[in-house]
Structure 1
Amino acid sequence: MEPAQPADRTPTDTTPAPPVARSERSPRDMAISLLVLLVPIVLLLAFYRGFLGGDQPSTVDPAPAFEQARSAGAFPVSEPTGLGEGWRTVRATYRAVEGGATLRVGYLTPEGRGLQLVQSNVPPERLLPTELTEEGQPQGQADLGAGTWQRYTARGNEQALVLLQQGRTVIVIGDARDNELREMAAAVD
């Protein structure tokens, strides 16, 4: 063991440090490497969007949900008829809930806006605040088809048309334009 050395002593080993290896790559080489990686990614994305319809929402067949609601017999079920081209069903569910049952069918309108058709036997005093939020307020009548529909404000920028019948409430709600809301309400009525 060596004896302790004073703190102001300089080391006697004067061997030079090994030279730092300098990279042989230039910024141009890095740009080419990134380009080689980005080209396949862009091609895959274009194929996904262009040929596989990657931006399009998946559509569903609403028939099983309508059939399930009809066979449950909780309320009269109306299926929309006579809708123009471009309407796409994106979601359809029937579910028994506390105090009744609810059929929900979500659509994309021909203009690409969202719209939901809700049919339920849940009492309106419980259903409307749930579907339209507490801020939902009646805005007057809208005469469509055989029934008298009520206009309501709804969540956010959405509007709703509500048809109150004995044993059933029908709600057409969404951010769709008024003509599309009316078209759906007339198709259900």
Structure 2
Amino acid sequence: MDDVSSEPDPRSPSAEPSPDGSAPAETAPDVARGGPDAAAGPGPTDPPPSAPSAPSAGTGPDPTRPVVVGPQAMRKPERTETRMKDILGAVLILIPIALLIVGVGRGCSFAPTGPELDPGAGPTVDAPARLTEYARVSTFGLRVPDVPWRSNSTDRGPVQGGGTAVRVGYLTEQGRYLRLVQSDASEEGLLATEGGPGSTAEGVTRAAGRDWVTYRGNNGEPVRIATLPGSPTVRLLITGSGTDDEFRALAEATVRARVLPPGGQTN
């Protein structure tokens, strides 16, 4: 007797077991095969199928739209934002410049004969006391001029070509500046150090009974040098924006001043 194949009838419901091992569920008859359910259509009590309604505006995000999480696209800054950043940057740059201009303007003003400084601005130095200190280590005597001006600086340093220079800066009553230099250096070395390269000779000026060789420094200010008698050789140099009368006043006061002996010696 021939074996009859046990292939399932394609018209019968699927008999595949469910994943949890329970009895297989009957599948609904295929409407395409013309079963009794296919011809009947929807029952009288079944509501007709309707399309899903779109969410109304203002009721929240669409739950069917996927939410995108991650870095957002860069946006170009608005024109107002860019202008505000530029304005703030410019203000931050201009503030220190304005403060610097105000500070310089308070301490210095323009004058045809040279810059004028505020007589009350800047530090005040006790010139006689400082010259006394310098004399203790000096190899030549130092003069202490008696002038009615305020001293705002003192200095002691080397000179080009050898020698030492002792400097005192003064502010005149009209706010002009003069610097007195006492040195044992040569005239050429003293001029190169105080007047700068390119200084040119202009002649001789007579003041305080001495001949002062006059040069024009590289900054445009006159530089006058006189050689004092005696040994060791000492030269005086006066330069700055002071007038001729102020130069002569400082020259007279220096030549006639008391002399501090070198090396802390006493007279």
| 2:137 pairs with 1:72 | yes
Aligned to 1:156: 219
Contact 1:136 1:152 in 2 (8 A): yes
TM-score by length of 1: 0.63
Q: Which deviations, in whole Å up to 9, do the C-alpha atoms of 1:102-145 show, x marking residues without a partner? A: 11101111110111111111222222112111222222221212
- CA-based RMSD of the aligned residues comes to 2.7
Cα distance change, pair 14–160 in 1 and its aligned pair in 2 (3 A)? farther
Cα distance change, pair 172–13 in 1 and its aligned pair in 2 (3 A)? farther
Q: Which deviations, in whole Å up to 9, do the C-alpha atoms of 1:52-73 show, x marking residues without a partner? A: x9x6222110123211232224
Aligned to 1:59: 124
| 2:155 pairs with 1:93 | yes
Secondary structure in 2 matching 1:94: strand
Aligned to 1:167: 233
Aligned to 2:197: 134
CA distance in 1, matches of 2:187, 2:124: 30
TM-score by length of 2: 0.46
Secondary structure in 1 matching 2:143: coil
Runs of 5+ consecutive residues of structure 1 not aligned to the other structure? 1-11, 17-48
- The Cα shift of 1:13 comes to 9.8
- The Cα shift of 1:158 comes to 1.1
- The Cα shift of 1:14 comes to 5.8
Contact 2:178 2:239 in 1 (8 A): yes
- The Cα shift of 1:164 comes to 2.4
Secondary structure in 1 matching 2:122: coil
- Give the percent of matched residue pairs that are identical in Structure 1 and Structure 2: 28
Aligned to 1:178: 244
Aligned to 1:143: 206
Choose 1 or 2 for highest CA Rg: 2
CA distance in 1, matches of 2:153, 2:185: 20
Contact 1:93 1:103 in 2 (8 A): yes
Aligned to 1:26: none
CA distance in 1, matches of 2:124, 2:58: 74
Cα distance change, pair 72–56 in 1 and its aligned pair in 2 (3 A)? same
More strand by share: 1
Alignment of structure 1 residues 35-54 onto 2, 5 Å: none
Q: Which moved more, 1:179-188 or 1:162-171?
A: 162-171
Aligned to 2:254: 188
| Alignment-mate amino acid for residue 133 of structure 2 | Q
Q: Which deviations, in whole Å up to 9, do the C-alpha atoms of 1:145-184 show, x marking residues without a partner? A: 2322122211323112211246222110001111111111
Contact 1:68 1:94 in 2 (8 A): no
Cα distance change, pair 14–122 in 1 and its aligned pair in 2 (3 A)? farther
| Alignment-mate amino acid for residue 116 of structure 1 | R
